[in-house]
Chain A
Amino acid sequence: NAGVTQTPKFRVLKTGQSMTLLCAQDMNHEYMYWYRQDPGMGLRLIHYSVGEGTTAKGEVPDGYNVSRLKKQNFLLGLESAAPSQTSVYFCASTQLDTQYFGPGTRLTVL
């Protein structure tokens, strides 16, 4: 049981490049989330999903897109990366109110 995993762990992009962050969970959870964590700002919700095939906007969705084609996977895409998207990105899943977090992806946009 790996829990929540995220790939990649680190990534450096140039402004304007695109990339996809992958989150996978093996706990059969319905709800999945993408957060970003920035110094002094705390954790902020980007997008979330309440089940396979569904997505919804969170607090800071601009510049990001998501997809949940399979229940176990939740993808976060950056179509045209900007320096303001430099952050640590966390994926989480929820069952019975407890949130389980992945180890994070540290993204730097130059």
Chain B
Amino acid sequence: DAKTTQPTSMDCAEGRAANLPCNHSTISGNEYVYWYRQIHSQGPQYIIHGLKNNETNEMASLIITEDRKSSTLILPHATLRDTAVYYCIVSLAYGGSQGNLIFGKGTKLSVKP
């Protein structure tokens, strides 16, 4: 069963904020929301994660709703290099004994000049 739902694709103008939504209505109390991205033909890149509170780092901000059923990844000033597939993943901090990352289909973000 899919634990997250993301739009298939989104466009964003260069220099504008990119807001990528993710629905995770079945998230449990001890599961975190993680975001990764994968630029074409490169390895996935960890971006940010959070449990309840909003989080910010040098790459992005993560806004989690109060009921934790959805979240938004914000790239404040998108550049062409941010064009990538963005994956929202719900998981424990320790993803079970296997430690596998379950990547869904993600959102293909295209940043346009």
Does B bind A? no
